[in-house]
């Protein structure tokens, strides 16, 4: 028997994007914590053996100005510590949440932003975009999102509509690495690092006018970092958030 952990939050929303991929809402039951767009919170559930609290950092995808619910974009990791437990829960169930931490923040440097995400690495960029929009601010952003299958492109409809509406200067590019298994997909194909050089050229993004923000798997981050270095981007203009940098499964 596990001991009762005094949880301080509850699952408030669960939207399955694709099998094993969900947008998850968590409400704080105590005083909500503030955060800056790009930061992460730590979610925790008591594990089955010995009642130990298993905790993992998760980037917040919602606006920093709405603390009624914290939103996360989470993939279930087979053999992971936290996510298989999370997938057994339902809306209304208790969960632990603490925050916020992280230095993956939008820089006030007057430059355009090239946001590059793989998989659930899209989360902090959604928070940045939603926070800017809510405050009536703009930033010239090109957002590249790389996934395996087209149905993994969370928020594609909203981001495409935002781009088309024209009030917020966003260019959105999704790319699918397993395109052969996606017969309806007609957009970019290949991993996101493979399309980065062309996208830099297409949008005339240079070290003079652009800061690059990378969030996702470590292979993608180091591959794009290499491209940026070759093109003369100084380290402070390549901001990085690695998912699972120590190889620890979620």
Residue-wise pLDDT tens digits, 101-147: 999 999 999 999 999 999 999 999 999 999 999 999 999 999 999 99
- 32, with CB counted inside 10 A (0-12, 13-18, 19+), is middle
Indicate if the pLDDT at residue 247 is higher than 50: no
Cβ pair 187, 174 in contact under 8 A: yes
For residue 245, what pLDDT is reported? 53
Q: Name which residue leads in pLDDT, 103 or 48.
A: 103
For residue 122, what pLDDT is reported? 97
For residue 50, what pLDDT is reported? 66
Indicate if the pLDDT at residue 158 is higher than 90: yes
Distances (CA, A) of 248 to 18, 22, 41, 140: 23, 20, 17, 34
> Among the CATH numbers 2.40.30.10, 3.40.630.30, 2.30.30.40, 3.40.50.300, which is that of 9-101?
2.40.30.10
The percentage of the chain sitting over the pLDDT mark of 70, rounded to a whole number, equals 95
pLDDT in tens, 178-213: 999 999 999 999 999 999 999 999 999 999 999 999
Indicate if the pLDDT at residue 1 is higher than 60: no
Task: Determine the average pLDDT of the residues in 136-161.
Answer: 96
Indicate if the pLDDT at residue 13 is higher than 50: yes
Sequence spans of domains, the chain: 9-101, 112-242
For residue 244, what pLDDT is reported? 66
Q: 112-242 sits in which CATH class?
A: alpha beta
Distances (CA, A) of 18 to 75, 83, 242: 9, 15, 23
Task: Determine the average pLDDT of the residues in 37-56.
Answer: 90
Task: Determine the average pLDDT of the residues in 54-76.
Answer: 97
Cβ pair 43, 58 in contact under 8 A: yes
The percentage of the chain sitting over the pLDDT mark of 90, rounded to a whole number, equals 88
d(CA 62, CA 48) in angstroms, rounded, equals 30
Task: Determine the average pLDDT of the residues in 217-226.
Answer: 95
Which token pair is 12? 């408030």
Task: Determine the average pLDDT of the residues in 223-246.
Answer: 90
Q: Whole-model pTM? A: 0.94
What is the residue-averaged pLDDT of the chain?
A: 93
**250 pLDDT band (50/70/90 cuts)?**
low
Task: Determine the average pLDDT of the residues in 82-106.
Answer: 95
């Amino acid at each position: 028997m596990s001991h009762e952990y005094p949880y301080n939050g509850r699952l408030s929303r669960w939207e399955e994007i694709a099998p094993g991929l969900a947008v998850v809402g968590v409400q704080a039951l105590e005083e909500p914590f503030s955060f800056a767009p790009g930061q992460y919170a730590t979610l925790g559930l008591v594990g089955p053996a010995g009642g130990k609290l298993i905790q993992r950092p998760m980037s917040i995808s919602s606006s920093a100005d709405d603390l009624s619910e914290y939103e996360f974009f989470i993939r279930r990791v087979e053999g992971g510590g936290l996510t298989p437990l999370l997938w057994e829960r339902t809306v209304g169930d208790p969960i632990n949440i603490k925050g916020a931490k992280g230095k993956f923040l939008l820089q006030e440097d007057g430059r355009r932003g090239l946001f590059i995400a793989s998989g659930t690495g899209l989360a902090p960029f959604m928070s940045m975009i939603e926070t800017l929009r809510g405050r009536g601010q703009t930033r010239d952003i090109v957002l590249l999102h790389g996934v395996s299958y087209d149905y993994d492109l969370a928020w594609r409809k909203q981001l495409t509509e935002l781009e088309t509406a024209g009030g917020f200067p966003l260019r959105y590019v999704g790319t699918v690495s397993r395109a052969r298994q996606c017969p309806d997909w007609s957009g970019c194909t290949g991993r996101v690092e493979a399309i980065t050089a062309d996208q830099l050229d297409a949008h005339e993004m240079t070290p003079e006018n652009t800061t690059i923000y990378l969030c996702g798997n470590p292979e993608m981050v180091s591959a794009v970092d290499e491209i940026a270095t070759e093109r003369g981007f100084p380290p402070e203009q390549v901001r990085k958030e690695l998912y699972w940098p120590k190889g620890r499964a979620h």
